[in-house]
Amino acid sequence: MRTNYAVSVIGLTDERLEAFVADWLLFRTRDYVQSERWNGSGDMGRDVVGYATSARHEGDWDNFQCKQLSTRLSESSAILELGKIFMHAAAGEFRLPRAYTFVAPRGVVRNVQTYIAHPERFRAACKSRWAEVCEPHLVQNKSVPFTDDIEAMVDAFDFKNVFALDAVKLTQDPYIKPALVKWFGEDPGEAPRGVAPDGIVLEEATYLTELVQAYGARRGVAFADATDVIADPDWGDDLRDQRTRFFEAAAFKRYYRDSTFPEMLDTFNDDIYHGVVDAYREVHPDALARMVAVMKEAKSVVPSGVMRRYGRVPVKQGLCHHFVNEGRLKWTR
């Protein structure tokens, strides 16, 4: 049964909720080229923002306003938060956001829900309630009247792009898993199996070149290329196994790159590297013996972290070929 992470999100402090949302946005790469957290005083109504282009605030951007409250977000609070954006946009601090999302773990009151469902009513409420809600409260010890410039911002903003996320909706977002893994120990699940393509592909070039040399040195006659080795009755099966291991590791890396934070995959890789590097550095009669010794050692490495249970033997062995591609190891020295 899946853990109810919504309860965990509700339990976060204001500061940690912002950090959690910032981590979530890091993986919405289809929506944003970059995200940024503007926490603390002087945030101008922005907690976490997603930039749609490299122009950042001079291009399209979305605002995520985090409201960790003891109750649901009220109508006055919603209008006041939007008012901050209109005030600072009118002052030329930034362009109006493309979209605005209230991240309120306990939800919003019915009036705010109704306004979101009826965008023009929301626009009208921001205008009609400015004097009551915004003017005396936007800036401490200062009145902020509803000027023509602010009204122009309210008129220009697309209220159809105002949204609200409670804790349940947030934890059901398709991009949330890496944040749940990092923050609450969510199980990222098992990576799909890797399958070696029939033909040799570019990403194999480095480690295969070294293996072709290693097989040739052992046989005493050089092989022309990897295809030549695969056709060989003595070494073909072995090279097919090595390619399978390489692509098992490639599938593993792709899956966890998308479902966990980079440092988690880095930790797994480093554990495998340090588990095999002593065997790699021992004196071996030839390159093929070196590779075989490393493969044997890789089987017994027990990495740490959330991916430990999913690090199957072919994955750990295949990562050693990736280390060769990356220059951390060399089969032929």
Per-residue pLDDT of 233-260, as tens digits, reads 999 999 999 999 999 999 999 999 999 9
In order, the DSSP letters of 106-133 are: T-B-HHHHHHHHSHHHHHHHHHHTIIII
Q: Does the pLDDT of residue 333 top 60, yes or no?
A: yes
Distant-in-sequence, close-in-space partners of 316: CB < 8 Å, separation ≥ 6 = 249, 272, 298, 299, 301, 303
The reported pLDDT for the residue numbered 40 is 79
Burial label for 320, CB within 10 Å (0-12, 13-18, 19+), is buried
- Closest to 64 measured CA to CA, from 22, 109, 31: 22
Tell me whether strands 162-165 and 48-51 are parallel, antiparallel or unpaired: unpaired
Conformational region of residue 189, where left means phi above 0, alpha means psi within -120 to 50, and beta covers everything else: left
Question: What is the per-residue DSSP string for 217-265?
Answer: HHHTS--SSHHHHHT-TTTHHHHHHHHHHHHHHHHHHHHHHHHS-HHHH
Backbone dihedral region for residue 25 (phi beyond 0: left; psi -120 to 50: alpha; all else: beta)? alpha
Q: Which residue has the tokens 């550095």?
A: 281
The rounded distance, in Å, linking the Cα atoms of 167 and 12 is: 11
Q: Give the per-residue pLDDT at 88.
A: 97
Give yes or no for a contact between 83 and 126, defined as CB atoms under 8 angstroms apart. Answer: yes
**311 vs 308: CA distance, rounded Å:** 5
What does the pLDDT read at residue 277? 98
Whole-number average pLDDT of the chain: 96
> Is residue 125 within 8 Å of residue 62, measured between CB atoms?
no
Region 289-315: mean pLDDT is 96
> Which tens digits make up the pLDDT trace of 128-145?
999 999 999 999 999 999
Task: Please say whether the structural domain 5-184 has been given the CATH code 3.40.91.
Answer: yes
Percent of the chain with pLDDT over 90: 96
Mean pLDDT of 261-279: 96
| Token pair for 63 | 């605002």
Distance of CA 163 to the CA centre of its chain: 22
Residues of each domain in the chain carrying CATH 3.40.91: 5-184
pTM, two decimal places: 0.85
In this prediction, residue 306 carries a pLDDT of 87
Average pLDDT estimate for 182-197: 95
Residue type (1 letter), 262: P
**How confident is the model over 98-131, as pLDDT tens digits?**
999 999 999 999 999 999 999 999 999 999 999 9
| Coil/strand/helix, residue 34 | strand
Average pLDDT over residues 31-39: 94
pLDDT band at 2 (very low <50, low <70, confident <90, very high): low
Pairing mode of beta strands 61-66, 34-37: unpaired
Strands 61-66 and 48-51: antiparallel
Question: Who contacts 188 (Cβ-Cβ below 8 Å, separation ≥6)?
Answer: 177, 181, 255, 256, 259, 260, 306, 307, 310
H helices, E strands: number in the chain: 14, 5
